[in-house]
Amino acid sequence: MISAFGVYFTTQWASFVAYRVVFFLYSMWAILPPLIYLAVWSTVAGGGGVGGWSRGEFVAYYLTFMVVNHLAGSIEIHTASWEIRQGEISGRLLLPIHPAVRTLASNVGFKAIGLLVVVPSVLLLAALFRPEYHTTPALVVAGVVATLAAGALQFLIGYTVALLSFWITRADAVAQLNEVLLVLLAGQIAPLALLPEALQAVAAVLPYRYMLSFPVEIITGRLGSSEILLGFGMQTVWLVGAWFLMRFAWRRGVRHYSAVGG
């Protein structure tokens, strides 16, 4: 299983290097949408800050957000869904290894190569916007763990949505719907603490916060230790739930599948 992942990762990495410009451009999608809100909030908070946030704190929040957005993001609607719709998955079903392993290798490979663009871009933006960080090494470590868990959660949910392609032709519409909720409820439009209280309550229960903004809130020092523990608890609950949902969708989907094309 691990060696198969290694082989897939090497081949995926090689193909990404071959088409590197494309993947450099795609990784800009982790940066440009939050950049809009970084710029707007830092303008709004230009004078004396807003809602307890100074201009530099907004910048720190959104720069961290960009990195986590890249590392935790799901690309499965483009990779796995395409395989199912084109019938390419037929051959992979015959292999003695779950096709999701290849999808996961492709996910990790994309993120590794994308970092070559994301890190310099974020450093450049840091020089332009001057962030103000209040963090500790312990918070960063906790944030990294939360980012890995967020990435796993986005992968499981992204893969489950991609599996809908077994039944419907427009799984991409479901993915777009998911994306809209992620933008609103996972801290891109505004840090969740600035949303109206009703929305905050909704965001605390739904999975979206734990897919993206929870690690950012930890690293920027916005959460107390009990809030961090509670967050990790919610993240675990959603991870377990998403795992079973993915397994369920996979079993039903493969049974329902009849290949398209030759």
Would you count residue 42 as binding another protein (CB under 8 A)?
Answer: yes
Smallest distance from another protein to CB 100, Å: 26
Would you count residue 123 as binding another protein (CB under 8 A)?
Answer: no
Give whichever of 52 and 262 is closer to another protein, judged by the CB atom. Answer: 52
Would you count residue 176 as binding another protein (CB under 8 A)?
Answer: yes
**Under 8 Å between Cβ of 143 and 218:** yes
Smallest distance from another protein to CB 252, Å: 20
Q: Which of residues 191-250 bind another protein (CB under 8 A)?
A: 194-196, 199
**DSSP summary character for residue 53:** B
Give whichever of 4 and 199 is closer to another protein, judged by the CB atom. Answer: 199
- Phi–psi pair at 97, nearest 5 degrees: -140, 140
| Dist CA 46 CA 32 (whole Å) | 21
Smallest distance from another protein to CB 169, Å: 8
204: left (phi over 0), alpha (psi -120 to 50) or beta: alpha
Amino acid symbol at 208: Y
Would you call 194 helix, strand, or coil by DSSP? helix
Smallest distance from another protein to CB 226, Å: 26
Structure tokens at 70: 């890249």
Would you count residue 183 as binding another protein (CB under 8 A)?
Answer: yes
DSSP 62-110: HHHHHHHHHHH---HHHHHHHHHHHTTHHHHHHSSS-HHHHHHHHHHHH
Smallest distance from another protein to CB 95, Å: 30
**Residues in touch with another protein (CB under 8 A):** 21-22, 25-26, 28-29, 32-33, 35-36, 39-44, 50-51, 128-129, 169-170, 173, 176-177, 180-181, 183-184, 189-190, 194-196, 199
